[in-house]
Structure 1
Amino acid sequence: MINIDAFLTLFKNVRPGGTGKWMACCPAHNDGQHQGDQSLSIALTGDKILLKCFAGCATPKIVETLGLTMSDLFIGEKKKDKQPPAAEARKKKKIAAIYTYHDVNNKAVFEVVRYEPKSFSQRRPDGQGGYINNLNGIERVIYRLPLITAAIQRGEVIYHVEGERDAGNLVKLGLEATTSPQGAGNWKPAMAEYYTGAGTVVIIPDKDPAGRAYAADVASNVFPRAKHIKIIELPGEGNKDASDWIAAGGTREKLEELVKFAPEYRPPAGPPEEIDYDVIRGLLKKESDGQYTIINGKFNKIIHTREGETVELPLCNFVARVTEDILKDNGAARERFLRVQGRINGSHLAHVTVPDLHFDNMNWVRKAWGVKAQTEKSIDKVERHLAQCIIKSSGKVPEHTIYTHTGWRDIDGQMVYLSGSGATGRPEMEVELPPRLARYKLPQPDGDAKEAVSNSMDLLSIADMRVTLPTFIMPWLAVLNVFEDMAFTVWYVGRSGSLKSVMTALALSFFGNFTHKSLPVNWFGTRTELEKLSFHAKDILFAIDDYAPPANPAEARELTRTVEYILRAYGNRQGKVRANPDMTSQETYFPRGLLVTSGEQLPPPGVSRSARILPVPISIDDFYQDGKDNYYLLTQAQKDRRYYPVAMAHFIRWIQANWKAVDDKLHKYYERYSLEANKKDVHLRLIETICLMQAGFEIFLDFAADHGAIKSADIGGHLQMSWEIFNGLLKYQSTRITSERPGERFIEVIKSLLSSGKVIFRSRNEAGYWKPEEAGPGQAIIGWDDIDAYNNDGEGIGIIYLNPEEAFSVVFKHCMSIGEFYGHTKEATWDDMNSLNYLEDTGEEGSRSVLKKKMIGNIRKRLLWLKRNVIYDTNEF
């Protein structure tokens, strides 16, 4: 003999299939061993366990495989020769508690009696002051029904537990709790009606297989009737149920905290429906006008010969039908998929999802179902006929849409925000994200918004605000991307151990459960992978971690190209245009969110690329204050990150309710800060970046004030502080960009090569002739130094006539030798030197070149006329 809980532990992938019923993988044959592959039905009927394998395995074979005997399927106690009557047995037990169940009119309808040692019985009033010890003919109701009905009307959370004692202990905590009578295996679906109109129902099962199955039964029946359902298992190794957890120190506050961050319940896909051959055969015959049929579980083509005979030609050795028509929508294009169910030799074939584009060629059959599923060659174009059979056997196929990206979408005239857990305000919507984006899951906007926002704002105080402010503001900005493209990248730069990845993870925690070990991807992902992930991560903060150029020069150059490609894509909101073999355009993937990344260094110089980056220098010293470390604040922030998605969910709902106002405010704030910004000697892209960040921060402060997390009077102080910090970051990056200008970098390298003796200039002798200097080993002559040259006004200024080809060659080679790619053309370098006012004179009027002719000896050359003090710092200019 064995009890049902112990029996269920012998199987793999057990899932509930109804009250007292389960589905599991059959141990007597190869059953796939995955969810959705179960073919064994387990049912508890009275004191018997019934087994049925849909693949045809006999019950004795299944029992033998488990190492049991058939008698083990009887779970009742063996009858003894002399068993005392029930009444006499109860006399030996002590009544520990009596739990009375009432109907909707508050009339007592039956009682559950608990005894010590632990056992239970049920009884009903006999109308004469006594009891009848059974519930025959009595409608089952839930415990404390009148009180639960009133609590639902008040909008309170309802807790459903396994047992009256657990319910009573939760009531002592001030919560509304209930249960159903007669234990885990006796839930009646009709009892779900009592939950109609409930806001949130929290189910707390006992921590055993029967308890989990019970919770699944209750949830699946209550699901259509309650707005929100959550199932939670209480923590603690020794805590089997709610009473154990409370006895171990569990409180109402702790329980409500667990509920707040528990995921929403979603009903699982049911077991595969049986394929009724007669139904499908009739449907196929009708839809195909008698061209096809099913014989012995196989599709056949009906041929009428000239002689008047009818011949059935088998097309395959299985039958199949389409069970779902799925439209996957990535926000730019839609792709259709067909969900197919099959059956062969009486056994289920695994469900397979097939792209509609490839359905007709039937190549997916072998790939999905292996060699056991075969197509015949009895007729030409058998694949086309087989595809027709499957479609025409399917009848009316349900359609549904799966969204494959995050962020905002207009669906049925309503703006909703998508994440891996569905849509804010529409949890029933299905979202399927790439695996690397699977952690992006937002809760519904429940719970205390003020508490969540206040706790999230504590992130600002864990380190220097120069580091924490960008960390904090990025998530809110990403959600505002729908109103204005956040076309820039935030880059944490600092030595190893400076907590770059930790800060990145805290920023991402506003969208799900992230740690520094679970960031989506790093820079060593393929360019195509990074491109596609950036496309699916719409209106959200996406992270690419760990920029670390390898020592191998070729690999370092490839990484640089990848970084430049992605940064430009985010900055320009453009993707690579690709073509199919027939020259039609492929789908273009372009970034649709905000990017944060990190590295021990910034990418190689490049003015345009650098202007798309807002670097945030970070060091371990940023986490010290007044000589003391703030690590305890960082630890607290990591604990409090569970509040972050809740705050974000409320922010999204606030935007939904104030859509036009938020749009107008963001642009109004941005324009105001653009007028205030100091634009002198600053790249305009950087101005745009800090103004967007400041405007986004002000939008957040409006939201926080609306929810009571801050006072409206304090907004001005927050904005003054943030504007100073953003301008400091602007100044830091502007200085860096100036040093990266091609003209600046070129002159810097020339000076370095001169000081090391690797390049030299020819000079004039006392008679005014050019000295015939010769280049020594490892040297290059790159121009002529005329210290006595005069300008057009007759002033002696000195000019260096730079040989453009030689000079550019040595600069380019030197940069390569130190692992740096000088990514500018000659023309761009000369033009930048001219804009920096480094050239004394330029080409003839009307010429597009800045090179000017100069007679050197007997040869007229086109040279760069460089002011001598640019190289030798002899005068100001």
Structure 2
Amino acid sequence: MELNVPSESDDCNRGSPEPPGGAPDGPEADRLRPNHAAELEASGLSRETTTANNVHSEDDPKVVARLLNWSPARAKALGPVLVYPHYDRGGQPLDHATVKPDRPRARGDKPGKVKYENPRGRPNRLYVPAGARAALADPTAELTITEGCKKALAATQHGFPCVSLPGVWNWVAPREQRGGKRTGRLALNDDLAGVTWTGRRVHIVFDSDAGTNPDVARAERALAGALRRHGADVRVVRLPTEPDGTKNGLDDFLVRHGAGALRELVGHAPASPEKPRTDPAQFTESGYTAVSGNTFHCVLTRDEDTDELTVTKKTKLANFTARIVGETVTDDGAEQTRAFAVAVEQWNKPARTVGVPVDRFGALDWVVERLGPKCVIQAGSGKRDHLRCAIQEMSGDEIPSATVYTHTGWREVEGRWCYLHGAGAIVPGVPTVPVSPRVEVQLDGAASAFRLPEPPTGDARRTAVRASLGLLVGLVPDGVAFPLLATVYRAALGAPDYALWLSGPTGAQKSELAALAQQHYGADMNRGRLPGNWSSTDNALERLAFTVKDAVLVVDDFAPPPSRADADRQHRTAERLIRGQGNSAGRQRMRADGTLRPPKPPRGLVLATGEDVPRGHSITARLGVVAVQRGDVNLARLSECQQNAAAGALASAMAGFVAWLAPRYATVRAELEAERVQLRNRFVGQFPHARTPDIIANLLLGLRYLLRFAEAIRAIDTPERERLWGRGEVAFRSLAEQQGEHQRAADPVARFPEMLGAIITSGRGHIAGTDGKEPGVPPSPEAWGWEVRETRGALGEVRVGSHGRGRKLGWVTDAELYLDPDSTFAALSELAREQGQAYPITQQTLYRRLKESGYAVRTDGDRTTYPITLEGARRRVLVLAPSFLLGKPGQSGHPGRGAANTAQSVPVSRPGFSHAGPEPGQPTGTRAPENTGSVPGVPTVPVSPSGESENSADRALTNDVEVFTP
């Protein structure tokens, strides 16, 4: 739209040079044709007003052509004209005039005539009557703006200083034109912009059709907005239409009703247009709004000229409004998920706030579930999408966000290592405040019981630590007590790669001992409330072991049921959990979109109890198996320890430990692996399985840091620390001995000769001579699975002969034993099935490991078998020594005996080893500062001068084990 074209002239905005000179001035200019004089008089204009403003008639076409910047021929067609000369605010004449022709030309854009003409090619000018100049110069004076010179003269004459525009849009400064459209914000032209508007009361009075003419109404609102931006107090005066429908201009209204009526209209004029502008703040960018507790989508149209918004379509989306008022980032240490706090309101109902996971937010399927059936999303295509967008856009720019941790253990928060637990976090530098306002922890299910108290200080801390060390005093043999307590504190150091298994018959108090360990991490987790049980599902245990980070997690009561299927399931559960613990690995999972989720391995330290031990050589190698027998537990001491645990003493000891560890944890964490390797290397080669030294090293780490802490807070003195360390080392070697027995029992290669012997002695198989008959190899045919039988012939005669029992497994000579690979493995598998198990490895793996162990006498290159002619046929067989099957303890070649066992009884020299180790950050090989003060109150077990524990369970070890003496 061409905004600079006045509503009553189509020539006011065309560009060409200004005409030389202006309208006549002076006494001779006061000449009016009768028709012109009559017109002015009908508008109520006095002769004084017209004379003061030099309003006159003009008949000369040349003068008219000069005024309008037209050609004389074109000007002649207008006939005589009534001229309104323009003057500036100081009264100086401008070379500009508005004329009203007697013969108006036809409009080119719409029906009717052009009543007024303005100079072509010259800027639009403000018409300032002589009587309004003083008010225009006074910033405090009220001013009226109208359209048309005659109306401005009439209002000024009646005491309302008024200026006029040549058209309702002719207040706009020229704008840049792009692509055929004018762009940019509407601004006042130079004449209006030069007026001081700040604080001035301004009345806009257009014709009475402003209320029905949309173009006039838009111009009215746009002008009011522009003046307000310049600081004016703008009031819009709407003239009434006459009862007969006659239109009123400002001059007409004054003639018909007088100045008093206009003054009353001005006094009641509203501060904004009759049709209020749509407030953009009520709508989001996409047109969403909330009205009376309902959510709507409005189609908004922005006026290019006024920059106004108009609602052209309004669609209801829901009978409620919702806004996101908060965001919670849930961090489990492997991945982060988000949930929104959504505040929902309905008309005349209290507001509610519900939590919505991000992955469910967009579908809006949570509305009925969380809000009930009265919250209705309207039917229709796309309305759910619009509602989702509306909730997000109406939520504002600043949505508070909080991080919630869903695991226990160490976590670096804002550059500081903090220990998380169910009640909050223990933060370095804030030892007396367990819950930091910046760290929120949320645990569910069994994990919620992992709650530490406020870390104690002073005597309270020493008392709590003595209660924890009390598990080493008269409760159980050292071979049970030290691994149990060392595991408790090793868990808090982080990243353990072993599990501890308390094995023993029912009634041995295994669960009670495990509960004492567990109650270091939460006083409520007693015997009846242990967090894990082997009857739980695989996924539940795996998730719990992932959540419980850097803490002991007791999984109680491993007792495979008689049903083979149920027993296999429990063994699989144990294998999955223990293998994950030992390998620090979790199962890979996929998201719904096909991408991989991060694995979630066990991150705590599993402490299991059971009447049995999981089968499988590789599983037992990851376990520290502690045997607990009936009668090992001193029940009186057990009751004392349980009272301390229920009172929170053990949990307070752990809270004090992690508070002491927190400020130095970064250093401990960085050096922990090097410490473990250093301790492990002292035991490499001394035990059957390579993982056993790792288990001992981890237990020593737990004991080392417990003793450092206890000495640092003066709960024990240096001599007591050294005695406890010596007892612990003896106990851990005892554990390693037991571990070797469990590993040998689970090793399929070690068990191979035992199972093969059982097959022969039970009559399931036999070994023949190379001719297929009874072997003549010592010790006797019966030893090779043969028996003497009586048979009767056809004539009834009795015959006595040797017969092999069961299937033929192989052949034997004085020098070699030949086993048929397939028959032997089939017999092994049958025996395993009868025992309710499956043979743990495949046939090829078994024979390859026999070869790698050096038990095969002859092999054929890379193959485990060797070709031999037996019973007249060429066969591929396993070639072993006869002593492999019939050997005795100490004989070379007998698996699991002799040389393989002797290394465990060789004393190991450890020169210069400091059992308590350096403090974090202290150079290796130096001793920590010793506390020479003695703190009474910690009962101790006497230690012999040689360093041997007086505990009867450990006395038998002293012949083979060198005990370190500081």
Q: TM-score, normalised by structure 1?
A: 0.62
Q: 2:773, 2:753 → 1: CA distance?
A: 30
How far 1:351 sits from its partner (Å)?
2.9
Q: Does 1:393 align with 2:402?
A: no
Q: AA paired with 2:768?
A: R
Report the equivalent of 1:452. 464
Per the TM alignment, residue 417 of structure 1 is displaced from its structure 2 partner at its CA by 0.6
- Is 1:542 paired with 2:553? yes
**1:388 corresponds to which letter in structure 2?**
C
Distance of aligned partners of 1:728 and 1:869 in 2 relative to their CA distance in 1, 3 Å threshold: same
CA distance in 1 between partners of 2:477 and 2:280 (Å): 71
> Conserved in 1, the CA contact under 8 Å of 2:283 and 2:289?
no
Q: Give 1:731-746 correspondences, 5 Å limit.
A: 731-746=737-752
3-state DSSP class of the match of 1:684?
Answer: coil
Which residue does the alignment assign to 2:148?
none
In structure 2, do the counterparts of structure 1 residues 511 and 876 end up closer, same or farther at CA, with 3 Å as the change threshold? closer
Deviations, residues 565-610 of structure 1 (Å, cap 9, x unaligned): 1111100011111223543112321111211111001111x22111
Question: In the TM superposition, what is the alpha-carbon distance from 1:755 to its structure 2 partner?
Answer: 0.4
The amino acid of 2:836's aligned partner reads G
Residue 731 of structure 2 corresponds to residue 725 of structure 1? yes
1:553 aligns with 2:567: no
Shift of 1:511: 0.9
Tell me if structure 2 keeps the 8 A contact 1:299–1:317.
yes
Structure 1 residue aligned with 2:761, among 743, 755, 763? 755
TM-fit CA distance, 1:747 = 1.9
The one-letter amino acid paired with 1:685 is R
The structure whose Rg is larger is 2
**Contact 1:493–1:602 under 8 Å retained in 2:** yes
Whether the 8 Å CA contact 1:285–1:292 is kept in 2: the answer is no
- For residues 224-265 of structure 1, the C-alpha deviation after alignment (integer angstroms, 9 at most, x for no partner) is xxxxxxxxxxxxxxxxxxxxxxxxxxxxxxxxxxxxxxxxxx
Question: Aligned to 2:314, what secondary structure does the other structure show?
Answer: strand
Q: Which runs of 5+ in 1 are unaligned?
A: 1-281, 624-629, 789-796
Residue of structure 2 aligned with 1:801, choices 818, 824, 838: 818
The residue number in structure 2 matching 1:866 is 880
Change beyond 3 A, Cα 1:334–1:581: closer
Partner of 1:815: 832
Post-superposition Cα deviations, 1:748-782, rounded to whole Å, max 9, x if no partner, equal 111111101111223246999999x9999996424
Q: Partners of 1:556 and 1:542 in 2: how far apart?
A: 22
Partner of 1:830: 847
Question: Does 2:640 correspond to 1:636?
Answer: yes
Alpha-carbon deviations, 1:470-508, whole Å to 9, x = none? 221222101111xxx310010000111211111111111
How big is the shift at 1:681? 4.1
Contact 1:322 1:397 in 2 (8 A): yes
Contact residue 768 and residue 774 of structure 2 kept, 8 A: no
| CA 1:412–1:768: 2 relative to 1, 3 Å | closer
Aligned-partner SS, 2:837: coil
Select between 779-788 and 581-590 the one with higher mean Cα deviation: 779-788
Q: Which amino acid aligns with 2:632?
A: D
How far residue 706 of structure 1 moved from its aligned partner, in angstroms, is 0.6
Partner of 1:322, secondary structure, is strand
Q: Is the 8 Å Cα contact of residues 284 and 393 (structure 1) preserved in structure 2?
A: no
Name the structure 2 match of 1:256: none
Shift in Å at residue 286 of structure 1?
A: 4.7
Partner amino acid for 2:873?
I
Aligned equivalent of 1:684: 690
* Counterpart position of 1:233: none
Q: In the alignment, which of 532, 537, 554 is matched to residue 526 of structure 1?
A: 537
Say whether the 8 Å CA contact 2:771–2:870 is kept in structure 1: no
State how far apart, in whole Å, the 2-side matches of 1:674 and 1:438 are.
Answer: 35
Residue aligning to 1:289: 285
Indicate conservation of the 8 Å contact 2:287/2:300, yes or no. Answer: no
**What do residues 538-588 of structure 1 show as CA deviations (whole Å, max 9, x unaligned)?**
111112111111222122222222211111110001111122354311232
- Distance (whole Å) between structure 1 residues aligned to residue 285 and residue 836 of structure 2: 73
Q: Is the 8 A contact 1:287 1:392 kept in 2?
A: no
Matched residue SS, 2:624: strand
Match of 2:156?
Answer: none
1:783 aligns with 2:785: no
Q: 1:463 aligns with which of 468, 476, 483?
A: 476
Q: Determine the C-alpha separation between the residues in 1 that align with 2:532 and 2:443.
A: 14
Q: How big is each residue's C-alpha offset from its partner over 1:416-437, in whole Å with a ceiling of 9 and x where there is no partner?
A: 1100111103532210113120
Instruction: Write out aligned runs for 1:302-451 (5 A).
Output: 302-303=298-299, 310-348=312-350, 350-378=352-380, 380-395=381-396, 396-425=398-427, 426-428=435-437, 429-447=439-457, 448-451=460-463
Aligned to 1:656: 662
1:497 to 503, 507, 512: 507
Please tell me whether the aligned partners of residues 338 and 357 of structure 2 are also in contact (alpha carbons under 8 angstroms): yes
Question: Is contact 1:742–1:832 with CA below 8 Å preserved after alignment?
Answer: no
TM-score by length of 2: 0.56
CA contact (8 A) 1:527 1:562 kept: yes
Structure 2 residues without counterparts, runs of 5 or longer: 1-277, 303-309, 428-434, 790-802, 894-966
Aligned-residue CA RMSD (Å): 2.9
- The answer to whether the 8 A contact 1:366-1:373 is kept is yes
> What's the offset of the Cα at 1:827?
2.0
Residues 774-795 of structure 1 deviation map (CA, whole Å, 9 limit, x = unaligned): 999996424332233xxxxxxx
Q: Is the Cα–Cα contact under 8 Å of residues 349 and 369 in structure 1 kept in the other structure?
A: no
1:647 to 638, 641, 653: 653
Residue 580 of structure 1 aligns with which residue? 591
Q: Deviation per CA, 1:57-103, whole angstroms, max 9, x where unpaired?
A: xxxxxxxxxxxxxxxxxxxxxxxxxxxxxxxxxxxxxxxxxxxxxxx
- Mark the CA change 1:309 to 1:387 in structure 2 (over 3 Å): closer, same or farther: closer
1:360 & 1:803 partners in 2: Cα distance? 66
Q: Structure 1 residues 376, 722: closer, same or farther in 2, change over 3 A?
A: same
Secondary structure in 2 matching 1:315: strand
Give the aligned residue type for 2:617: V
Matched to 2:426, the amino acid is T
C-alpha separation in 2, matches of 1:717 and 1:666:
23
1:653-682 CA distance string (max 9 Å, x none): 211233355447755653453343262342
Q: Does the residue aligned with 1:602 lie in a helix, a strand or coil? A: coil
Counterpart of 1:607 in structure 2 is: 617
Deviations 1:638-663 (A, max 9, x none): 11111112111121121123335544
- Alpha-carbon distance in structure 2 between the residues aligned to 1:803 and 1:386: 75
Q: Which amino acid aligns with 2:732?
A: F
Q: Does 1:476 align with 2:489?
A: yes
1:427 aligned partner, one-letter code: S
Deviations 1:339-372 (A, max 9, x none): 1121334334653211112211111112212322
The structure-2 alpha-carbon separation of the partners of 1:856 and 1:361, relative to structure 1 and needing over 3 Å to count, comes to same
Aligned partners of 2:829 and 2:849: how far apart in 1?
16
Alpha-carbon offset, residue 391 of structure 1: 2.0
SS in structure 1 of the partner of residue 374 of structure 2: coil
Helix, strand or coil: the match of 1:704?
helix
**After superposition, what is the alpha-carbon deviation per residue over 1:501-538, rounded to whole angstroms, capped at 9, x for unaligned?**
11111111111121111111211222122222111111
CA distance in 2, matches of 1:661, 1:303: 62
Deviates more, 1:686-695 or 1:575-584: 575-584
Deviation of residue 837 (structure 1)? 3.5
